[in-house]
């Protein structure tokens, strides 16, 4: 669901593998779980995207379950 306000599509996250802060772009209609590779160390993140009605949130974790 898209509101009237601007939808945030640019996020800065900390890579759970290499610790670098990386900017990620997510299409405005992306929601749920996806896998994306870190631009710095190329390890795969598990990315969780959700919308609480006001803000868009993003959470990144390791796919190997060690982080």
In angstroms, rounded to a whole number, what is the distance separating the alpha carbons of residues 23 and 36?
A: 12
30 is a contact residue toward Zn ion (CB under 5 A): no
Residue 14 near Zn ion by CB under 5 A: no
Q: Which stretch binds Zn ion (CB under 5 A): 11-19, 27-35, 44-52, 57-65?
A: 11-19
Please provide the distance, in angstroms rounded to a whole number, between the alpha carbons at the two ends of the chain: 31
In 3D space, the residue among 50, 33, 39, 52 whose CA is nearest the CA of residue 13 turns out to be 39
Interacting stretch for Zn ion, rule CB under 5 A, among 1-9, 31-39, 48-56, 57-65? 31-39
- Footprint on this chain of Zn ion (rule: CB under 5 A): 15, 17-18, 38, 40-41
């Amino acid at each position: 669901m898209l509101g009237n306000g601007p939808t945030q599509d640019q996020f800065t996250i900390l890579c759970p593998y290499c610790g670098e802060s990386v900017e990620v772009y997510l299409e405005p209609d992306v929601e749920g779980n996806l896998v994306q590779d870190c631009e710095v160390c190329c390890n795969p993140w598990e990315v969780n995207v959700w919308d609480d009605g006001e803000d868009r949130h993003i959470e990144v974790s390791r796919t190997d379950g060690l982080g």
